[in-house]
C-alpha cells in the first residue's frame, strides 16, 4: 500500500517539532471540540464483571436506541438495519466486501477521502474517479460524466456528504440525479455521512436514506467520531434496508467477532447529548469557517470556496506543487517560530495531475490559532521559492 | 463468506432458549472469569477532554509498557516491534495483508481456529491444511507432512500456541523443527499466542519469539481478550522484529486510523494485574479441565485427550455427524430442561471429511455448570438416534 502525501510529511513534522517549532495541525480531522460529558460518565459507571464480546452486529440496546437518533433526521430504520462497526473505517471496508467482488468498479467524485483508496485496495476493487471542480465549490459533476466512465464492471457509486475533503454539501437535486443513475444501472449507492451534524447556512441535509425507489441499493456509512468528537472510541455503523447486504455484512462482522464494548457503551449514552451541545459546536465551526475562508481569499493569488458542511475547505494556492510546499512549510519555513501542517490535495485525487496547487485545511483549531495559522500561510507564500507569479496564478484559475 | 457450523446453530439455540430451555454454552471462547479490577479502574478515572484517535500503531506509553510484560516471558522487544490492533482478529488480518500476496499459500495444522478461513479469504490467500490427530492429542504433524504440501506459492506457516481448538501446547522441539522448515524455505512464521497465560502441568511455554536464527521471518499475533477476560476491549497486537513487516503493517493500520482508545487505556493498566490473579485463574481452569476430560472419558465410546493449554478440548463422540448432533442437542434434546451448545469440530477442519465425530468443548463455565453439561452429553448420547454402536465407535478409534 503506497504512503499518502500526508503520511509522507509526518517525519518532517516530527523533525520540526524536535527543533522547537510550534506546528498548527490543519492537516487532520481530529477536532479539538470536547467530547460530551455524557459519554465519559457512561464509561465511568460501566462496571461489568466480565468485559465480554458484544453481539457481532453491536449491542442490541445501542442499535435500538440509534433508531431514535436517525428518527430526528427523518430516517426511519429498524434496529436490524444497523450494524455497529469499529469506526466508520470498518463500515466502509465491510460495505465494499459485502457488496462487491474483486475487480468491480466504484465511481467516486474526486477529490475524495484518501482512505477510500486503501479500503478499495484491500477489497480488490477499482475506484473510477469523476472530477469535481474548485470553481463551483466541488459540486456534483454532471451525471453525463458519471455515465462516461460506466462499464459493465461498474457496481457502485460512492459519495461523502457533507464531503471530506471539500466541505461540499450535496443538494436534494444532486442526490436525486444520482438516484436516477443508480436505478438506471442497478448500482449500489454508498454514502458516507459522518458529518451530518455539521451543515451550515440553513442548508438542508439530504441523506441517501431519504431517496425513494432505490432503498435496496443504498448503504449508508456512519461514525460517531466527528459527531461527538470521539474519534478514539472507534464506533461506526453500516446501515442498509437491504437484508441480504446486512446478512453478508454480519458474516464479515462475525469474522472479527465484535466492535469495541467500551466505545459502544459511551456511544449509547451519547445519543442523549443535549441539542445545546451541537448548537454551540456548530456556531464555533461556522465562525472558524467564516474566518478561514475570508482570510484565505484575502491573500494574493489564493482562492477558497466557502463550503456548507463538515470542517474542511480546499484552497488553491499560487504554488508550483502542493506536496513540495507542505514539506517546505515544515522543513524550511517558520514565522515567529511557528508553522502549519497542511494536507496536500494531491492525496485526494486519483488523477495524479490534479490537486497539485490545492491544499485541504481542517478548521479544527480555536480561532486564535487559526489566525496565527493563516498568517503563517500568508507569510510563507511571500517567500516560498516555488511561488507562482500573479500572472501564472491567474492563468491557473482561468 | 460461508457460514461456519457454529453460526448455523445460532437460530436453533435462540429457539431453544425461547422455549425455556437452559443452554450451557460450551461452544464459545468467552470466559466467565472476571476482568481484573485494575482495568475497569483505569477506565473509571479516564477523563480526557477529547477522546482522540491514538497513534495508528497504538498509544506509545502502552506499547512501551507492553515490552515489560513480554520481558516476563523472556521475549525482549523494542516498543517499535509492537503494533496495537483492534483485537487479535485485526492482528491476523493485517499480518496476512502485510506479508502475503493474493494467491499465496499458508500451511496450518488442522484442526485450526475457524476464523483463520475468513481472514484468509479476505486477504485472498489459500490455506493448506496439514492434519493433526486426536490420538496423540493433536501434536504437531511430522515436518515431512508439511513438506509434502509445500509449493512455490507457499509463503508462510501458521500455528496457534497454545492451540485453539485443541488445547495442545507445542513443545520446544516442535517449534525448533518448524524453525528449520521456515529457514529452509524462507517462509513467514505466524504464531497466534493469545493463550500463553494458560499453560498447565508445569509445561514450558515456548514462543515463536524465542527461536534463534529466523527473527526476520517471525510475526507473533496477540490479544488481551483471553489473558484478562476482556474480549470486549478489542485490543490485540502484531509483533515482529522485522522492520519491513512493521512498516507495511502500519500502512494498513493508518488506513483504519487507530485502535480503540478506551480499550488501550484499560489494557495499559492491565499490565499491573497481580500474579495472584493468574494463579487463581489457572487453578480454576486446571480444575475444570481435569473434571471435563475425566468425565468425558468415562462416557462409553467417548475419547478426549487431556490438553495442556488454553481452555478448550476436543472430544470424539460415538456419533454419525457432529453438525447433526449439535443441532439435535438444541432442537430435540433436553435433560431436566437443560441442554448444551457445543462447537462441531467440522468447522475447524478444511478437509470436509474430518472432524465429523468430534466436538470442541470450551471449559469456560463454573464446575457445577460443567457437571450438569457433561451429564447432558452423557444422557444425550444414550438416546441420540445417530449414535454409533460400540463396535462402530471402536472401529472409528482404531
Comparing C-alpha atoms, which of A233, A239, A241, A238 is closest to residue A268? A233
pLDDT for the residue numbered B77? 98
B390 found inside a domain:
yes
- Give contacts of B255 with chain A, Cβ < 8 Å: 1, 89, 115, 118-119, 122
Mean pLDDT score across all residues of chain B = 95
For residues A255 and A369, membership in a common domain is answered with no
Note the ipTM here: 0.90
Q: Which of residues 205-234 of A touch B (CB under 8 A)?
A: 225, 229-234
Distance, in Å, from the CA atom of B344 to the CA atom of B357, rounded to the nearest integer, reads: 8
C-beta atoms of A233 and B262 within 8 A: yes
Distance, in Å, from the CA atom of A348 to the CA atom of A113, rounded to the nearest integer, reads: 6
pLDDT for the residue numbered A393? 66
H-run or E-run covering A180 = helix A172-185
Closest alpha carbon within chain A to B49: A34
B87-144 pLDDT per residue, tens: 999 999 999 999 999 999 999 999 999 889 888 888 889 999 999 999 999 999 999 9
- Output the nine-digit C-alpha cell for A138: 466541488
User: A138-157: string of b/e by CB count within 10 Å (b at 16+)?
Assistant: bbbbeeeebeeebeeebbbb
| HSE-CB of A358 using CA atoms within 13 angstroms | 28
Relative to beta strand A22-25, strand A82-85 is unpaired
B348-371 pLDDT per residue, tens: 999 889 999 999 999 999 999 999
pLDDT for the residue numbered A317? 97
Task: Kindly state the average pLDDT of the residues B279-284.
Answer: 96
- Give contacts of B47 with chain A, Cβ < 8 Å: 40, 44
CA distance B115 to chain A (A): 6
Q: What percentage of chain A exceeds 90 in pLDDT?
A: 90
Quick one: three-class SS letters along A207-267?
A: CHHHCCCCHHHEEEEEECCCCCCCHHHCCEEEECCCHHHHHHHHHHHHHCCCCCHHHHHHH
pLDDT of A190 over the 80 cut:
yes
C-beta atoms of B255 and A115 within 8 A: yes
Distance, in Å, from the CA atom of B272 to the CA atom of B267, rounded to the nearest integer, reads: 9
Confidence band of B333 (pLDDT split at 50, 70, 90): very high
For residues A182 and A301, membership in a common domain is answered with no
pLDDT of A398 over the 90 cut:
no
Tell me the CA distances in angstroms from B331 to A304, B323, B326, B337, B355, one per residue in order.
Answer: 65, 12, 9, 12, 21
Query: What are the beta bridge partners of residue A319?
Result: A387
For residues A283 and A305, membership in a common domain is answered with yes
Query: What are the beta bridge partners of residue A131?
Result: A110
pLDDT of A332 over the 60 cut:
yes
Question: Is there a contact between A192 and A88 (Cβ–Cβ < 8 Å)?
Answer: yes
Domain boundary among A215, A246, A270: A270
For residues A85 and A166, membership in a common domain is answered with yes
* Residue of B50, B262, B362 to mutate, interface with A, max A Cβ within 10 Å: B262
pLDDT of A1 over the 60 cut:
no
B5 found inside a domain:
no
Closest alpha carbon within chain B to A32: B50
Query: What are the beta bridge partners of residue A129?
Result: A108
C-beta atoms of B233 and A118 within 8 A: no
Closest alpha carbon within chain A to B102: A124
A352 found inside a domain:
yes
pLDDT for the residue numbered A294? 98
Give me the CATH number covering residue A160. Answer: 3.40.640.10
pLDDT of B391 over the 80 cut:
no
A344 found inside a domain:
yes
Least CB-CB distance to A262: which of B30, B229, B260?
B260
Closest alpha carbon within chain A to B4: A251
For residues A250 and A281, membership in a common domain is answered with no
Can you tell me which residue has the cell 487507530?
A: B258
For residues B233 and B378, membership in a common domain is answered with no
pLDDT of B7 over the 90 cut:
no
Query: What are the beta bridge partners of residue A313?
Result: A361
B4 found inside a domain:
no
C-beta atoms of B118 and A34 within 8 A: no
Q: What percentage of chain B exceeds 90 in pLDDT?
A: 90
Can you tell me which residue has the cell 476493487?
A: A125
pLDDT for the residue numbered B123? 86
For residues B138 and B170, membership in a common domain is answered with yes
| HSE-CB of B123 using CA atoms within 13 angstroms | 27
pLDDT for the residue numbered A3? 63
Domain of residue B134 covers 37-270
CA distance A234 to chain B (A): 5
The widest CA-to-CA distance across chain B, in whole angstroms, is 69
Task: Kindly state the average pLDDT of the residues A115-143.
Answer: 94
Quick one: three-class SS letters along B179-221?
A: HHHHHHHCCEEEEECCCCCCECCCCCCCCHHHCCCCHHHEEEE
C-beta atoms of A7 and B254 within 8 A: yes
Task: Kindly state the average pLDDT of the residues A266-292.
Answer: 96
pLDDT of B390 over the 90 cut:
no
Distance, in Å, from the CA atom of A340 to the CA atom of A329, rounded to the nearest integer, reads: 7
Least confident of A72-81, B5-14, B63-72, B234-243: B5-14
Question: Is there a contact between A202 and A51 (Cβ–Cβ < 8 Å)?
Answer: no
How many Cβ pairs within 8 Å bridge chains A and B? Answer: 172
Interacting residues of B315 by C-beta distance below 8 A, sequence separation 6+: B296, B302, B303, B304, B358, B359, B361
Cβ of A333: how many Cβ atoms within 10 Å?
Answer: 20
Interacting residues of A9 by C-beta distance below 8 A, sequence separation 6+: A27, A326, A327, A330, A341, A344
B41-84 pLDDT per residue, tens: 999 999 999 999 999 999 999 999 999 999 999 999 999 999 99
A41 touches chain B (CB under 8 A): no
Mean pLDDT score across all residues of chain A = 95
Domain boundary among A270, A292, A313: A270
pLDDT for the residue numbered B28? 83
- Give contacts of B6 with chain A, Cβ < 8 Å: none
pLDDT for the residue numbered A390? 67
Please report, to the nearest 10 degrees, the dihedral formed by the alpha carbons of residues B320, B321, B327, B328 taken in order.
0
Q: Which of residues 332-351 of A touch B (CB under 8 A)?
A: none
For residues A296 and A195, membership in a common domain is answered with no
For residues A235 and A328, membership in a common domain is answered with no
At residue A123, what are phi and psi to the nearest 5 degrees?
-85, 0
For residues A45 and A173, membership in a common domain is answered with yes
For residues A100 and A215, membership in a common domain is answered with yes
Q: What percentage of chain A exceeds 70 in pLDDT?
A: 97
Domain boundary among A270, A299, A333: A270
More confident of the two residues A389 and B224: B224
CA distance B327 to chain A (A): 20
A4 found inside a domain:
no
CA distance A10 to chain B (A): 12
C-beta atoms of B260 and A86 within 8 A: yes
- Give contacts of B54 with chain A, Cβ < 8 Å: 232
Give me the CATH number covering residue A22. Answer: 3.90.1150.10
For residues A301 and A217, membership in a common domain is answered with no
Q: How many domains does chain B have?
A: 2
C-beta atoms of A51 and B39 within 8 A: yes
- Give contacts of A49 with chain B, Cβ < 8 Å: 34-35
Comparing C-alpha atoms, which of B97, B203, B107 is closest to residue B147? B107
A3 found inside a domain:
no
- Give contacts of A47 with chain B, Cβ < 8 Å: 40, 44
pLDDT for the residue numbered B393? 66
At residue A341, what are phi and psi to the nearest 5 degrees?
-110, 120
A192-206 pLDDT per residue, tens: 999 999 999 999 999
Comparing C-alpha atoms, which of A246, A239, A240 is closest to residue A217? A240
Q: How far apart are the first and last CA of chain A?
A: 36
H-run or E-run covering A13 = helix A5-18
The widest CA-to-CA distance across chain A, in whole angstroms, is 69
At residue A361, what are phi and psi to the nearest 5 degrees?
-120, 120
B127 found inside a domain:
yes
Distance, in Å, from the CA atom of A141 to the CA atom of A128, rounded to the nearest integer, reads: 13
pLDDT of A396 over the 70 cut:
no
pTM of the model: 0.92
Amino acid at each position: 500500500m503506497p504512503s499518502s502525501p500526508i503520511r509522507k510529511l509526518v517525519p518532517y513534522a516530527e523533525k520540526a517539532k524536535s527543533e522547537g517549532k510550534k506546528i498548527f495541525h490543519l492537516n487532520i480531522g481530529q477536532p479539538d471540540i470536547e467530547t460530551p460529558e455524557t459519554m465519559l460518565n457512561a464509561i465511568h459507571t460501566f462496571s461489568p464483571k466480565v468485559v465480554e464480546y458484544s453481539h457481532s452486529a453491536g449491542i442490541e440496546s445501542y442499535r435500538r436506541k440509534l433508531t431514535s437518533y436517525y428518527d430526528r433526521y427523518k430516517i426511519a430504520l429498524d434496529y436490524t438495519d444497523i450494524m455497529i462497526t469499529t469506526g466508520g473505517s470498518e463500515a466502509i471496508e465491510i460495505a465494499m466486501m459485502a457488496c462487491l467482488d474483486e475487480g468491480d468498479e466504484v465511481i467516486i467524485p474526486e477529490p475524495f477521502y484518501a482512505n477510500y483508496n486503501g479500503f478499495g485496495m484491500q477489497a480488490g476493487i477499482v475506484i473510477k474517479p469523476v472530477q469535481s471542480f474548485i470553481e463551483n465549490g466541488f459540486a456534483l459533476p454532471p451525471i453525463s460524466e458519471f455515465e462516461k466512465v460506466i462499464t459493465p464492471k461498474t457496481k457502485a457509486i460512492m459519495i461523502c456528504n457533507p464531503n471530506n475533503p471539500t466541505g461540499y454539501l450535496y443538494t436534494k437535486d444532486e442526490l436525486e440525479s444520482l438516484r436516477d443513475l443508480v436505478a438506471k444501472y442497478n448500482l449500489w449507492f454508498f454514502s458516507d455521512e459522518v458529518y451530518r451534524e455539521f451543515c451550515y447556512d440553513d442548508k438542508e441535509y439530504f441523506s441517501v436514506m431519504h431517496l425513494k425507489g432505490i432503498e435496496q441499493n443504498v448503504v449508508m456509512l456512519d461514525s460517531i467520531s466527528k459527531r461527538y468528537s470521539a474519534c478514539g472510541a472507534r464506533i461506526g455503523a453500516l446501515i442498509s434496508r437491504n437484508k441480504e447486504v446486512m446478512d453478508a455484512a454480519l458474516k464479515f462482522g462475525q469474522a472479527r467477532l465484535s466492535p469495541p464494548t467500551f466505545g459502544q457503551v459511551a456511544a449509547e449514552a451519547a445519543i442523549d447529548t443535549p441539542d445545546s451541545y451541537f448548537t454551540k459546536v456548530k456556531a464555533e465551526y461556522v465562525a472558524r469557517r467564516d474566518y478561514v475562508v475570508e482570510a484565505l481569499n484575502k491573500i494574493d493569488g489564493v482562492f477558497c470556496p466557502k463550503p456548507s458542511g463538515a470542517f474542511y475547505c480546499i484552497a488553491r494556492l499560487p504554488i508550483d506543487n502542493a506536496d513540495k510546499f507542505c514539506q517546505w512549510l515544515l522543513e524550511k519555513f517558520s514565522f515567529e517560530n511557528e508553522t502549519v501542517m497542511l494536507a496536500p490535495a494531491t492525496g485526494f485525487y486519483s488523477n495524479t495531475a490534479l490537486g497539485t496547487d490545492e491544499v485541504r485545511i481542517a478548521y479544527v483549531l480555536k480561532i486564535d490559532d487559526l489566525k496565527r495559522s493563516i498568517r503563517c500561510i500568508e507569510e510563507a507564500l511571500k517567500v516560498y521559492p516555488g511561488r507562482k507569479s500573479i500572472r501564472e496564478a491567474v492563468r491557473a484559475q482561468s
